[in-house]
Amino acid sequence: MTSLCLCRVQSFLVALFLIVGAMVLAVPNVATDVSVNMKALHCTSVLFAPNKTTVCEPEAPPHLSGIVAIHKGDTRIAEQHFKVAALNYQHPIAIQKLIDLWVEQDRWDEVLSVLHFLPVSSQQFMHLAQISISTHPSKTVQLLHIAEEKYPEDLLMKARLLIYAGKYSQAESLLQSTSYLQQQFESQLLLGMSLFYQKKFVEAISVFAPLYYGHRRSTEIAYWYGRSLRYNNETKKSIEPLKWAADSESEWIKVYYQLELASAYASIGDCKNLKTVLQFVRTYPLDTLKTLEVDQWTQSLENTLQQICPICPAINPKNR
């Protein structure tokens, strides 16, 4: 009996020794992992410290090295790092940075070539489509075809891309023929937009009005409802929703809403409010007004102000 107990004790001690030994052997690996992570964190912590000479350890992930290179103004090196992280590891930040870099450099062919196989979200597709509308309309059509292949079941994204690509009747047919889409808020917004662009203003008003007066009113709905009214020669009625939309928090969007409201005031000859809105628009930062479309629209309204209200002093374009 005594020998049996001793055997059991010895077995237990051997097992305990093996467990402890395995834990000791694992410690260097843990330390190495921590070291690598600390180096990556160190790389991030000094991104905005240009006076430091060594900003990134060799073991830092390539997407972080790319961000460091961007900060130092070396886009060529940044692109190399982002390519490694995006194409080899499909790192989401690297993918976004690489695409943003190519868009900024107007290299749309490279953008379209990687969209086929890289995991890009539907939101990124929509962002790219919004950028391409004014600069490369043909690329918007190509984005639509790629999105149809990658996201065949996302019909709302397809409808919005159809609108961006100028295929308004196709968007209308898609939204009206799919029963479950007819119950969704965004689909009704898109349907109204597709009708507006086809100059079916009465039908667009019939879509937007219930949304505007319902419990889910938004600045975008107010804008499109007011715009449809104005283009349907119901200018006075358009003032209220356009004023509501002009209170949007986003400055980039607000400038368009403000100019639409100013156009409504110009149509009814309301000099006082027209001048007030234009003065407000000119207080925006220069980068908000730098687009040719916004600048021309604003200048046209200022010319209109001088024609219909000759006694009003000219607006001083401080921020132009």
pLDDT above 70: residue 10:
no
- Is position 256 within any domain? yes
Name the domain count of the chain. 1
pLDDT band (50, 70, 90) for residue 19: low
Contacts of 315 (CB under 8 A, 6+ apart): 275, 278, 279, 282, 302, 305
Average pLDDT, the chain: 74
Tell me the average pLDDT across 70-85. Answer: 83
pLDDT of residue 106: 85
Tell me the average pLDDT across 30-37. Answer: 34
pLDDT of residue 28: 41
Both tokens of 92, joined, read: 């989401």
pLDDT of residue 114: 83
- Is position 252 within any domain? yes
pLDDT above 50: residue 49:
no
What's the half-sphere exposure (Cβ side, CA atoms, 13 Å) at 225? 26
Contacts of 5 (CB under 8 A, 6+ apart): none
pLDDT band (50, 70, 90) for residue 27: very low
pLDDT above 60: residue 128:
yes
Domain range enclosing 299: 248-320
- Is position 266 within any domain? yes
pLDDT of residue 237: 94
Tell me the average pLDDT across 64-71. Answer: 77
Higher pLDDT, 301 or 194: 194
- Is position 66 within any domain? no
pLDDT band (50, 70, 90) for residue 238: very high
CB 108 within 8 A of CB 139: yes
- Is position 314 within any domain? yes
Alpha-carbon gap, residue 298 to 283, rounded angstroms:
12
pLDDT of residue 56: 46
- Is position 120 within any domain? no
- Is position 316 within any domain? yes
Task: Enumerate the H helices of 50-184 as residue ranges.
Answer: 62-71, 75-83, 89, 92-104, 108-115, 122-135, 137-150, 155-164, 168-177
pLDDT of residue 251: 59
Residues 170-193 have pLDDT tens digits of: 999 988 887 666 567 788 899 999
pLDDT of residue 179: 63
pLDDT above 80: residue 289:
no
- Is position 311 within any domain? yes
pLDDT of residue 32: 34
